Amino acid sequence: KAGVTQTPRYLIKTRGQQVTLSCSPISGHRSVSWYQQTPGQGLQFLFEYFSETQRNKGNFPGRFSGRQFSNSRSEMNVSTLELGDSALYLCASSIQGETDTQYFGPGTRLTVL
Amino acid sequence: GEDVEQSLFLSVREGDSSVINCTYTDSSSTYLYWYKQEPGAGLQLLTYIFSNMDMKQDQRLTVLLNKKDKHLSLRIADTQTGDSAIYFCAEILDSGGYNKLIFGAGTRLAVHP
């Protein structure tokens, strides 16, 4: 079974621009979660989607948004980029079974100049 | 509150055992996880333990759980240079009926000859 895939792997943007990141979960997984990883703040939860609905949201400003499609693929969008948005964005999927074990993709490295 | 704590750095000699420690806060966490992150990569699930277990062994990995003290440890036997990475401890937190992962800051394991 293929793992979680994320595209693109690397991205360079300038302040004020917007960006869309994509995540394809493991086949059969219906839950997708997004995390931001930075050296200063570590791994922080952004949001979680299940069956095209956002069920859970972390403490991030409204510039961060996401959506999930009927095939469980998910996208996250960051508008009006700031320098502090430079980070590794990780997507994880789970089957929503007993353990809710999350499997991570390789991440998208976003650099904001 | 949501807080998972880990020591930040551990250095061991190749062939020795490594022990990475973690304390968590939510006594109702049902599952606790260990993830490994190599440079430039996403998070790889190493193992997890159900909260009603004291110990779980998987090849070179041994997880010990002290639920009374909310203490989790990961022991890596016969540590190799390929084990050099950042290791994250995570607990499941029930957030309004839905689960989210809370991560520690990660322990950087350095293995030297």
List, for residues A56-109, the tens digit of each pLDDT value. Answer: 888 999 999 999 999 999 999 999 999 999 999 999 999 875 567 889 999 999
For residue B46, the model assigns a pLDDT of: 95
What percent of chain B stands above pLDDT 90? 72
Cβ of B98 within 8 Å of Cβ of A55? The answer is yes
3-class state of residue B24 by DSSP: coil
To test the contact with chain B by mutation, choose from A43, A88, A94 the residue with the greatest count of B C-beta atoms within 10 A, namely A43
Q: From the centroid of its chain, how far is CA A19?
A: 12
User: In this complex, is the C-beta atom of A102 within 8 Å of any C-beta atom belonging to chain B?
Assistant: yes
Predicted confidence band at A41 (pLDDT cuts at 50, 70, 90)? Answer: confident
Query: What span, in angstroms and rounded, lies between the C-alpha atoms of A57 and B89?
Result: 21
To test the contact with chain B by mutation, choose from A6, A91, A102 the residue with the greatest count of B C-beta atoms within 10 A, namely A102
Q: Provide the greatest CA pair distance for chain B.
A: 48
CB A48 within 8 A of CB A32: yes
Tokens 């650099």 locate to A111
Query: What span, in angstroms and rounded, lies between the C-alpha atoms of B70 and B27?
Result: 7
**Mean of the per-residue pLDDT values for chain A?**
93
Query: What span, in angstroms and rounded, lies between the C-alpha atoms of A73 and A99?
Result: 21
Tokens of B113: 């000859």
Give yes or no for residue B3 having a pLDDT over 90: no
Write the DSSP assignment of A47-87 as a string of letters. EEEETTEEEEE-S--TTEEEEE-TTS-EEEEE-S--GGG-E
In 3D space, the residue among A99, A12, A5, A108 whose CA is nearest the CA of residue B91 turns out to be A99
Q: Point out the least confidently predicted range of B7-21, B68-82, B98-112.
A: B98-112
**Mean of the per-residue pLDDT values for chain B?**
91
pLDDT in tens, B48-83: 999 889 999 999 999 999 999 999 999 999 999 999
DSSP letter at B11?
E
